[in-house]
Amino acid sequence: MVQFVDRRLNPKDKNLGNRRRFVKRVRASIKKAVDESVRHRKLSDMDKGKKVSIPSDSLAEPSFRTARQGGQRQRVLPGNKTFSPGDRINKPRGGPGGGPSGSPDGEGEDDFMFVLSRDEFLDLFFDDLELPDLIKLSLKEIRATEPKRAGFSVTGAPSNINIERTMRNSLGRRIALKRPKTKEVLELQKQIFALEAILSPTSQQRARLAELRSEFEKSGQRQRAIAYIDPIDVRYNYFTNHPKPATNAVMFCLMDVSASMGEREKDLAKRFFVLLHLFLARRYDKIDLVFIRHTHNAQEVDEETFFHSTETGGTVVSTALAQMKRIIEQRYPPMEWNIYAAQASDGENFSSDSDNCTHLLDEELMKLCQYFAYIEIVDEREEPLLDEASGLELWMSYLPVAERWSNFAMKRIVRAKDIYPVFRDLFAKKSEAASHD
């Protein structure tokens, strides 16, 4: 989280309120710089640190000064020996303190540079999206890990005992301490029983029997003194956490780029795509991004063209869905890839194309996708008229699809804070799936 600490002295004419307003103003300037950088950064670079600059005017603190009296005034300061009233003074030459100067890299003296860490950048990016703290932490979270074998340990849980290594240590210790083998003790016992069975033993046999009994007793004592398995023999499997390898994922970004989609709509769409990408980045080791834009025709483009290039023409949404289907067939077999799709539009579509969209989703795409999210970006003036059961052509054609498929979500977005409900549904569906598993 970005924190500002004001370490200036506290003169008598400054108070806590002024300082709070100053910090608020600086934070607002940095937030504005972050929002501006979001428009030009790639989705895959969004969760990295960033250098942002703000003008020095944002750091200036207002103060009260004595106003001059009205009318014209002429004044010669005490100690002046050079100038008289009416003299014209030449403009001073440039030098230290002479004001802003040019710079070959486009940055002037008035720029104040902040280097934001990954967490600080994401905190500012999430600021106006109104995400709950739990979701913010989840999106900033490091990748999942899994335990991997890393040798042996003398302590651990009983379930992690390595029997092979434990028995090897036990055998080595018993050999080193010359612990009698069970087979040898049984052989002594067998010989003792044989001599005891003789009814009239000779003196040599009696002496041998006494010798065997003494040896048998010593062997038993040594066996009891030297344990078969000692606690020092026990070894446990030792594990360390390593980044968990995950299967591949592909994220399809579909967007209407007809004339009705202005910069505001594209900016909200990019924020939506960024959040989905952050959500997927912490679950999958590799994520491919596919950008498909459409008017009456659809085409796969790079990210720069997707967000910033202008296009003219009508709106036929099924062309984008058909293009997505072709790309999946060519490059992303569902058995090897987890497929996600995010579509942004202003809701307009050619009226006779709605059935084609419904058919493509129901019969082709939804059974391949892990999740398909559609957002309709609405003008603020139309917000009071919004109704979940009514809307433009595309919204009405997608309503039956949302009822039939649990992995399809659709929401209307007026401003940035409206984006989160889509992800609330996404997290809820993931949780339900995990509980069923």
pLDDT at 362 over 90: yes
My answer on whether 270 and 162 are in the same domain is no
pLDDT at 322 exceeding the cut of 90? yes
Domain containing 324 — which CATH number?
A: 3.40.50.410
Q: For residue range 245-300, list pLDDT tens digits in order.
A: 556 788 899 998 887 777 888 888 888 887 777 777 766 777 888 999 988 889 99
Residues 363, 426, single domain; the answer is: yes
Residues 160 and 121 in one domain: no
Residue 136 lies inside a defined structural domain of this protein: no
* Rounded CA Rg of the chain: 39
Structural domain including 394 reads 248-436
Q: How many domains does the chain have?
A: 3
Amino acid 81: pLDDT: 74
What pLDDT does 40 receive? 57
How much is the pLDDT for 326?
94
pLDDT digits (tens, 9 = 90+) for 329-345: 999 988 888 888 989 88
Domain shared by 316 and 273, yes or no = yes
- The Cα angle at residue 92 between residues 88 and 94, in degrees rounded to 5: 160
Closest CA to 139 of 284, 277, 343: 277
371: left (phi over 0), alpha (psi -120 to 50) or beta: beta
Does residue 432 carry a pLDDT above 60?
A: no
pLDDT for residue 105: 43
The verdict on 180 and 276 lying in the same domain is no
When the pLDDT of each residue in the chain is averaged and rounded to a whole number, the result is: 75
Rounded alpha-carbon distances, angstroms, from residue 359 to 79, 401, 431: 90, 9, 29
**Per-residue pLDDT tens for 197-255?**
888 888 888 888 888 888 888 888 888 888 888 888 999 999 888 766 556 788 899 99
Give the pLDDT confidence score for residue 358 in this predicted structure.
Answer: 92
The more confident residue out of 308 and 389 is: 308
What pLDDT score was predicted for residue 361? Answer: 93
Tokens 């780029």 belong to 257
DSSP label at 419? S
Residue 366's pLDDT band (cuts 50, 70, 90): very high
Give the span between the Cα atoms of 121 and 51, in whole angstroms: 9
pLDDT of residue 64: 62
Whether 329 is in a domain gets the answer yes
Predicted confidence at residue 324, as pLDDT, reads: 94
Question: What are the structure tokens assigned to 406, written together?
Answer: 């649990």
- Residue 103: per-residue pLDDT: 42
Alpha-carbon distance 330 to 338, whole Å? Answer: 15
Domain boundary among 93, 127, 161: 127
Total count of residues recorded for the chain: 437
Distance CA 117, CA 120 (A): 5
Q: Place 308 in a pLDDT band, splitting at 50, 70 and 90.
A: confident
**Is the domain of 353 the same as that of 378?**
yes
Query: What is the sign, positive or negative, of the torsion defined by CA atoms of 419, 425, 426, 431?
Result: positive
